[in-house]
Structure 1
Amino acid sequence: MHGSPGVSIIHPRVVDDADELGKRFVAASPFPHLVIDSFLAPGLAERLLAEFPSFEHGNFVGDDGRPGGKSTSDKVRELGPAYRELDDAIQSPDFLQVLSRLTGIDGLLYDRWYLGGGTHENRDGMSLDPHVDFNFHPSERWHRRLNLIVYLNPVWQPEWGGCFELFRDPHATPRADVSITPAFNRCALFETSERSWHGFDTIRLPPDQAHLTRRSIALYFYTRDRPADEIADRHTTYYVKRQLPERFVEGRELDACDIAEMRALIAQRDEHIRMLYAENTALRKAQDVGLAGHVLYLAKRAYVRFRR
């Protein structure tokens, strides 16, 4: 199998050890996942890094319409020969079979639109709140089952933040159960479900490394079905704002950094509340327009007037 085009992008050691790695995946806590170093074949990761798009080339405009600290590119085949090679491989039956051996998930489907995926780049100060991903493909009747993230950071220290985090329950504690440094050619592979809480902590680069960014390639895979006890109503990505750090305890004297972090957490919650209210207003406005809006208005009016 090593020689097939779809598998040749993976390091041969990973293919040889796929069944044993699959046992580790299923048994992992807090939910099924794997961390695999040197995941891609020698040379391919370097070429992907060399062809990684500039920050300005991607979509770096946030939900608020303003430029932000994150840039994404989902037009993967347009990025260069290495990305076309990657795209050809990950849709092949042989590659999908290796993923099934690594995870125990059969019938995996490739997303040719890279919705939410592709290249991701984050600047200093950025973080990603704990969340579970949207559970159905936005345009197909597919269940989202698997995320595969490859990091492309030749120089990175865990104390710089940006570490990929897995949580058992982010409502209960600010501490991640697993923290993964985004080292070069390291792969984080995990099953997406209603309990696959994940994110990354704030990037805090030292002054002499401030030019660096956190770079990765995100690949998402789906199936047409999934176990009945894992199926939930269709939902978008669900975020949980981070809890206060554990160092905030009774009797502690707060310093300037503590105050700044507390204000930032409060500001994030305020912004999240504003966004939810804006979405609610937009939905209500949409309900009020056209024939459907008029029918809904009459139905609600009749319900209020005659409910007794």
Structure 2
Amino acid sequence: MSAVPAPSITAGRIAARVVAERGELASRFAGAAPFRHVVIDDFFEASFAQRLLAQFPGFEQGNFLSEDGRPGSKSTFERIRALGDGFAALDDTIRDDGFLRLLGEITGIDGLRYDPWYLGGGTHENRHDGGLQAHVDFNFHPLERWQRRLNLIVYLNPGWREEWGGALELFGDPATAPEHVIAPVFNRCVIFETHGHSWHGFNRIVLPENERGQSRRSVALYFYTPAAEEPRAAHSTVYVDRPLPDRLQPGHVLDARDVADLQRLIGDRDNRIAQQYGEISRLMTLVRAHERGLAGSMLYAARRVQARLLRRQG
């Protein structure tokens, strides 16, 4: 792989130290567990990180409705070029060959492509009481014949305290405790490989009463490589609900904290069922639309022929 040219479009945006230390970062990425990843503090140049923070969209500007159509604790915004010159510069940077080569040198993955639609990515904002169950991400791009390979997340949370939660969790086994817990502090970047066992999520955000105006903000960027063949094992995001707390054992007397945790776990389960129902409904709508077309007419005719043959054989 060729070296990253200098100067490149990363200048003034990606910290010069990241480019200079890409060999060391590659070693850390390759040797990490439970799956390949690297944590890079001060990822953006300081002034550029502040510029993105200043242009970060308000919660109500993004998509903040949950699966049932009600306001939720998470807001996302995919059209990042509309947010200002800082985010337009970020978009220019991550699509540039120099940046993609830098990312390839750090991760050892050639031929990376950025997603111009930011499907599932863009800006993410999570408020008090929000969290995200352990999951693996969808593995093929919905519009292109691309395989998802990397997530790159940069946090934009000045003054964030670890006891507030919202920490990225990396799991070897989603039914057990996380192997790594990474606080979402300002200008911290996490790059990790995505595949069938890259289980990750973030723990519940618990803000003090006087800090409820704070939120967990990040920029999520996803990268792909061309798929070698037509996807045959494509899947959407797969979640695993958190297990019951260890303290809930026979003989334990429930207190207010226990009841709140149980209500939250049941709510998470109900939301997941509703989400899966929505995905199935959308899939069936696509199937019906497909069957009304030429291919559907041919399939219907073939079914009628098959039924007649079976009737004659009977």
How far off its partner does 1:273 sit? 2.6
Counterpart for residue 65 of structure 1: 69
Counterpart for residue 199 of structure 1: 201
Q: Deviations over 1:232-267 (max 9, x none)?
A: 701111111111123323443321111110122123
| Aligned CA distance change for structure 1 residues 45 and 57 (closer, same or farther; 3 Å) | same
Cα distance in structure 1, aligned partners of 2:285 and 2:63: 28
| Aligned CA distance change for structure 1 residues 212 and 298 (closer, same or farther; 3 Å) | same
Amino acid at match of 1:113: W
**What are structure 1's unaligned runs of at least 5 residues?**
none
- Percentage of matched positions with identical amino acids: 50
- The equivalent position to 1:222 in structure 2, one of 221, 224, 230, is 224
SS in 2 for 1:48: helix
Amino acid at match of 2:44: L
How far off its partner does 1:3 sit? 2.6
| Aligned CA distance change for structure 1 residues 225 and 275 (closer, same or farther; 3 Å) | closer
How far off its partner does 1:294 sit? 9.9
| Aligned CA distance change for structure 1 residues 286 and 79 (closer, same or farther; 3 Å) | closer
- The equivalent position to 1:53 in structure 2, one of 49, 52, 57, is 57
SS in 2 for 1:215: strand
| Aligned CA distance change for structure 1 residues 278 and 221 (closer, same or farther; 3 Å) | closer
- The equivalent position to 2:183 in structure 1, one of 162, 166, 181, is 181
| Aligned CA distance change for structure 1 residues 108 and 26 (closer, same or farther; 3 Å) | same
Structure 2 residue 83 is the aligned partner of structure 1 residue 79: yes
Cα distance in structure 2, aligned partners of 1:176 and 1:142: 29
Moved over 6 A (4+): 305-308
Cα distance in structure 1, aligned partners of 2:256 and 2:55: 41
| Aligned CA distance change for structure 1 residues 274 and 56 (closer, same or farther; 3 Å) | closer
SS in 1 for 2:43: coil
Structure 2 residue 41 is the aligned partner of structure 1 residue 14: no
Alignment of 1:281-296 (within 5 A): 283-284=283-284, 290=292, 292=296, 295=299
- Of 43-52 and 289-298, deviating more is 289-298
How far off its partner does 1:277 sit? 4.0
Counterpart for residue 266 of structure 2: 266
Contact 2:67 2:271 in 1 (8 A): no
SS in 2 for 1:267: helix
| Aligned CA distance change for structure 1 residues 7 and 248 (closer, same or farther; 3 Å) | farther
Contact 2:134 2:240 in 1 (8 A): yes
Contact 1:2 1:15 in 2 (8 A): no
Q: TM-score, normalised by structure 1?
A: 0.89
Contact 1:7 1:94 in 2 (8 A): no
How far off its partner does 1:71 sit? 1.0
| Aligned CA distance change for structure 1 residues 278 and 210 (closer, same or farther; 3 Å) | closer
Counterpart for residue 152 of structure 1: 156
Cα distance in structure 1, aligned partners of 2:100 and 2:192: 15
- Over aligned residue pairs, what C-alpha RMSD do you find? 2.6
| Aligned CA distance change for structure 1 residues 92 and 294 (closer, same or farther; 3 Å) | closer
Contact 2:130 2:205 in 1 (8 A): yes
Contact 2:169 2:182 in 1 (8 A): yes
Cα distance in structure 1, aligned partners of 2:162 and 2:90: 28
| Aligned CA distance change for structure 1 residues 26 and 43 (closer, same or farther; 3 Å) | same
Contact 1:6 1:93 in 2 (8 A): no
**What are structure 2's unaligned runs of at least 5 residues?**
none
Q: TM-score, normalised by structure 2?
A: 0.88
Counterpart for residue 209 of structure 1: 211
SS in 2 for 1:260: helix
Cα distance in structure 1, aligned partners of 2:300 and 2:11: 54
Counterpart for residue 107 of structure 1: 111
Counterpart for residue 235 of structure 1: 235
Counterpart for residue 255 of structure 2: 255
SS in 2 for 1:259: helix
Amino acid at match of 1:260: A
- Of 190-199 and 7-16, deviating more is 7-16
